[in-house]
């Protein structure tokens, strides 16, 4: 399906017509899958349950049409139902903060973003026990720590959201936690899932390179990270498609390519190939799997064995663990597609997501993960240690 046809259908009036066609198509697909997946042998992965097969396939069809229509969500800076849990997070006034990679595009400048604490905005960090992490940038661990803070970042739906906008927002969020909210950096856990993985990992890299006096966080958790946008634009996903590994993926190749290209911004109109943009796609903050680095921050990575980018993720875990001083843990979920933490409950992967969250909690509580020696890696199966309650003072922040 060529890009010109896709562009035509993403504009009115054909966009409205195609939306109606989409609804009919989804209804027909739902009826077909309801019958087709009765037999385990016809499911994307024979080990999947009927519900997992049905919902995952319908999600793939939905995302197919979202890509066709070029649907881009928007973020609001109004609190809405989040009420007093919602906070506006302005750019930091620290001097010389937004430099280097953060200022690589002159037209992309730091802006105010929004963030929400769950279940409530925490009291003063000074009231928390000294032994407990006081803030965590995370999604999945919400059930295992007491509080989480979710910070929005600009989406690449217009120029102000192109790279490095989201990375600027990640830095803004971290500095806001430390300077405004008063959390100790050593009690912060950074986490990101899916596309947010580049921001979490990029923030870890940036904190190791910055010279503005910021301390490092406690740990970093990466859930189904997308680590190679350059590869998503064709190089890696095409290999996985040819090998037949895409049958369980709900993220289509063309969606990965569209999202990656949108994140980088439009190509130069003066030439068919924008060398600067191609180099940006392969750079350390956009495709971190191509640039392993040393860090004192221990990193834990979760990956589904049925997702298209599994090989890239596990290869990154291995190469990062081989860097002197690094500590890297990884956990694989058999048969799982991409990002079950965002869609797990809806797709029928709630139990597996909870297992992974318990594994992350176990890893966070273990002693000796400070990153000494040549580097350590743990490729986990299912670790089920006693889960004593450690909720007092724990806060999650993403």
Q: CATH number, domain at 93?
A: 3.40.50.1820
Tens-place pLDDT, residues 169-224? 999 999 998 999 888 888 888 888 766 767 899 999 999 988 888 999 988 999 88
Within a domain: residue 277? no
What is the mean pLDDT of the segment spanning 44-64?
91
Question: What is the average pLDDT score of the chain?
Answer: 77
Match 């997308």 to its residue by tokens.
226
| Dihedral sign (CA 251, 252, 257, 263) | negative
Within a domain: residue 171? yes
Tens-place pLDDT, residues 126-183? 444 444 444 444 444 444 455 677 888 888 877 778 889 999 999 999 999 899 988 8
Instruction: Say yes or no: 87 and 122 in one domain.
Output: yes
Instruction: Say yes or no: 149 and 174 in one domain.
Output: yes
Residue 375: which pLDDT band, with cuts at 50, 70 and 90?
Answer: very low
> Taking 90 as the threshold, does the pLDDT of residue 38 lie above it?
yes
Instruction: Say yes or no: 293 and 154 in one domain.
Output: yes
Integer angstrom CA distances of residue 37 from 28, 282, 346, 356, 363:
14, 40, 17, 27, 37
Output the pLDDT for position 235: 53
Output the pLDDT for position 369: 37
Q: Is 68 exposed, middle or buried (0-12, 13-18, 19+ CB in 10 A)?
A: buried
Domain limits at 30? 1-71
Tens-place pLDDT, residues 301-314? 999 888 878 888 99
In angstroms, rounded to a whole number, what is the distance separating the alpha carbons of residues 345 and 139? 14
> In this structure, what is the dihedral angle of CA atoms 85, 86, 90, 94, given to the nearest 10 degrees?
20
> Taking 80 as the threshold, does the pLDDT of residue 344 lie above it?
no
Within a domain: residue 259? no
Helices 50-69 and 253-264, interaxial angle, to 10°? 50
Instruction: Say yes or no: 52 and 89 in one domain.
Output: no
Instruction: Say yes or no: 19 and 120 in one domain.
Output: no
Q: What is the pTM of this model?
A: 0.81
Backbone angles phi, psi at 237, to 5 degrees: -65, -35
Within a domain: residue 255? no
Which of 71, 96, 121 is at the close of a domain? 71
Instruction: Say yes or no: 167 and 206 in one domain.
Output: yes
Instruction: Say yes or no: 104 and 219 in one domain.
Output: yes
Output the pLDDT for position 318: 94
Integer angstrom CA distances of residue 24 from 13, 27, 198, 344:
18, 5, 36, 26
Instruction: Say yes or no: 53 and 198 in one domain.
Output: no
Q: Are 310 and 318 contacting, i.e. CB atoms less than 8 angstroms apart?
A: no
> Taking 70 as the threshold, does the pLDDT of residue 336 lie above it?
yes
Instruction: Say yes or no: 186 and 220 in one domain.
Output: yes
Q: Above pLDDT 90, what percent of the chain? A: 27
In angstroms, rounded to a whole number, what is the distance separating the alpha carbons of residues 347 and 53? 8
Instruction: Say yes or no: 296 and 366 in one domain.
Output: yes
Within a domain: residue 302? yes
Instruction: Say yes or no: 213 and 333 in one domain.
Output: yes
Match 């929004």 to its residue by tokens.
114
Within a domain: residue 395? no
Within a domain: residue 397? no
Cβ count within 10 A of residue 348: 19
Q: What angle do CA 65, 47, 225 make, to 5 degrees?
A: 55
Task: Name the domain count of the chain.
Answer: 2
Instruction: Say yes or no: 60 and 86 in one domain.
Output: no
Which of 71, 91, 112 is at the close of a domain? 71
Within a domain: residue 47? yes
The three-state secondary structure class of 54 is: helix
What the block records as the tokens of 30 is 């739902």
């Amino acid at each position: 399906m060529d890009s010109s046809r896709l562009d035509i259908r993403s504009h009115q009036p054909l966009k409205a017509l195609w939306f109606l066609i989409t609804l009919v198509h989804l209804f027909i697909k739902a009826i077909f899958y309801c019958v087709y997946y009765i037999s385990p042998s016809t499911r994307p992965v024979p080990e999947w349950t009927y519900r997992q097969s049905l919902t995952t396939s319908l999600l793939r069809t939905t995302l197919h049409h979202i890509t066709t229509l070029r649907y881009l969500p928007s973020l609001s800076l109004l609190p809405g139902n989040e009420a007093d849990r919602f906070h506006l997070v302005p750019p930091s006034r620290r001097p010389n903060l937004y430099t280097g990679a953060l200022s690589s595009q002159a037209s992309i400048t730091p802006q105010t973003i929004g963030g929400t604490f769950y279940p409530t905005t925490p009291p003063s960090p000074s009231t928390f026990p000294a032994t407990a992490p006081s803030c965590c940038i995370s999604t999945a661990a919400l059930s295992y720590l007491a509080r989480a803070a979710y910070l929005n970042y600009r989406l690449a739906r217009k120029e102000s959201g192109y790279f490095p906008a989201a990375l600027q927002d990640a830095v803004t969020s971290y500095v806001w936690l430390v300077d405004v909210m008063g959390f100790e950096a050593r009690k912060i856990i950074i986490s990101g899932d899916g596309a947010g993985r580049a921001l979490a990992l990029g923030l870890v890299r940036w904190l190791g390179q910055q010279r503005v006096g910021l301390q490092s966080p406690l740990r970093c958790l990466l859930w189904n990270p997308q680590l190679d946008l350059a590869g998503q634009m064709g190089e890696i996903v095409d290999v996985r498609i040819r090998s037949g590994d895409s049958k369980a993926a709900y993220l289509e190749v063309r969606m990965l390519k569209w999202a990656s290209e949108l994140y980088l911004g439009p190509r130069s109109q003066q030439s068919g190939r924008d060398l600067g943009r191609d180099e940006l796609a392969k750079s350390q903050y956009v495709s971190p799997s191509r640039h392993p680095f040393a860090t004192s921050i221990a990193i834990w990575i979760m990956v589904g064995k049925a997702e298209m980018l599994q090989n890239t993720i596990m290869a990154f875990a291995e190469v990062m663990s081989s860097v002197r001083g690094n500590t890297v843990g990884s956990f694989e979920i058999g048969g799982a597609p991409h990002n079950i933490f965002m869609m797990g409950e809806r797709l029928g992967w709630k139990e597996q997501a909870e297992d992974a969250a318990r594994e992350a909690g176990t890893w966070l509580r273990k002693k000796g993960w400070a990153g000494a020696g040549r580097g350590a890696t743990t490729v986990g199966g299912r670790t089920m240690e006693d889960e004593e309650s450690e909720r007092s003072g724990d806060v999650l922040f993403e």
